[in-house]
Amino acid sequence: MATLKPFAALRPQPELAAQICELPYDVMSSDEARAMAAGKPLSFLHVSKPEIDLPAGTDLYSPEVYAQGAENFQKLIAQDALKPDDKSNFYLYRQIMGAHAQVGLVAAASCAEYLNGIIKKHEFTRPDKEDDRVRHIEALNSQTGPVFLTYRAQEKFDEFVAKKISETPAVDFTGSDGVRHTSWTISNADEIKFIETQFAGIPFLYIADGHHRSAAAARVFQSRQGAGHSGEFLTVIFPHNQMQILPYNRVLKDLNGLTPHELVLKLEKVFETIRVGEASPARKHVLGLFLDGQWHRLTFKPEFTKIADPIERLDVTLLQKNVLAPIFGIDDPRTSKKINFVGGIRGTAELEKLVNSGEYACAFSMFPTSIEDLMTIADAGGIMPPKSTWFEPKLRDAMFCHLI
């Protein structure tokens, strides 16, 4: 059963939130972050990507980078741009992106429950990325990037949330990308108890995004033996039926020595239909292929999709095993230089641009992996293939920080 705790968040002054809160550290390069933070002294990128305040070319994992981040973090606190709450609360965090809205509970989740599998994961983590997040948490004595969790929706809690978000928010701003961010504070003791009780009846939580942050928090918890608030980690938890997963598309450097016509002949052994069609697939087991200036619709033959294993029947797995490895020679998409991945937020126009530039030879547009597939795989203890899901909108850093 999931144990969630209220906590005294470090939060931006409402009138400064739009200047402070930023996208997560791992969705941009250092150069992109430097440009985004230019002329914005309060931008949290000075904390989450502190190399932007050091000479270009500085080793991202040097002690100076983490020290700079800690210095910038303390500066925001000293300026009262970020202020700690004087008591423990739960919070609600709503994001509106176009026609999509999602409301999550902001809470401190249990590191022990992450380690014992009540909080389920579906991805491998890389030691170097874990080390980076550990050093960032240790330098700041805080978790500043929330882990994005989900759970199977509960009607009673949904009704509670719907009522709370009709009240006056604590913070409400729209980012430069058009995504609106709104938060509410839940400080009433009875309401806090209600939330704790509701989640105590939920058997599992699932990591949607933030596997490295979760693993790093657990390592800090173990090294500090739970001292202070290191036994919990910062999360925003959304019901599964509000999650928006976008496709994670593939672009390929070359055709592995094939002509476009030869490629199509090989693809015809895997796909039922190959014809000029729309850029974005309309359903599972259908892909888009951009080749020779045209989009083609590809439908997997039934013999490839009638598989019981939930991982093996994912479109990303089917594409890898039946197309990318045998036809394009891409045996390990994690390390191959012949493939790149483009998050669905960039749209299929980005795929066309990359191929038309000559940098890539073709592109595959995917139908999004479902949240139900993700939870089924996590329940079975499985690991999703790399680059299977792209969640949008992204949670903003500094909306809430958890001091440990």
Residues 6+ apart with CB under 8 A from 292: 260
Which pLDDT does position 75 carry in this prediction?
A: 98
Structure tokens at 404: 């440990």
Please state whether beta strands 119-120 and 142-143 pair in parallel, antiparallel, or not at all (unpaired).
unpaired
CA atoms within 13 A on the CB side of 389: 26
CA separation for the pair 299, 273 (Å, rounded): 6
- Average pLDDT score, the chain: 96
Amino acid (one-letter) located at 197: T
Q: How far apart are CA 285 and CA 304, in angstroms?
A: 9
Task: Mark 124-160 as b/e (b = at least 16 C-beta within 10 Å).
Answer: eeeeeebebbbbbbbbbebbbbbbbbbbeeeeebeeb
Topology, domain 248-367: 3.30.1760
In the numeric block, the tokens 């210095």 are attached to 71
Question: What type of residue is 243?
Answer: M
pLDDT of residue 256: 97
Q: What are the tens digits of pLDDT across the range 76-126?
A: 999 999 999 999 999 999 999 999 999 999 999 999 999 999 999 999 898
Q: What is the pLDDT of residue 345?
A: 85
CATH 3.30.1760 in the chain is located at: 248-367
pLDDT for residue 202: 96
Q: Which amino acid would we find at residue 59? A: D
Rounded Cα gap, residues 227 and 391, in angstroms:
33
pLDDT band at 277 (very low <50, low <70, confident <90, very high): confident
Distances (CA, A) of 401 to 26, 28, 47: 17, 20, 12
- Average pLDDT on 25-29 reads 90
- Give the number of C-alpha atoms closer than 13 A to the C-alpha of residue 266, restricted to the C-beta side: 16
pTM for the full predicted model: 0.92
What is the model's pLDDT at position 191?
Answer: 98
Q: How far apart are CA 54 and CA 219, in angstroms?
A: 28
Beta strands 390-391 and 171-174, pairing class: unpaired
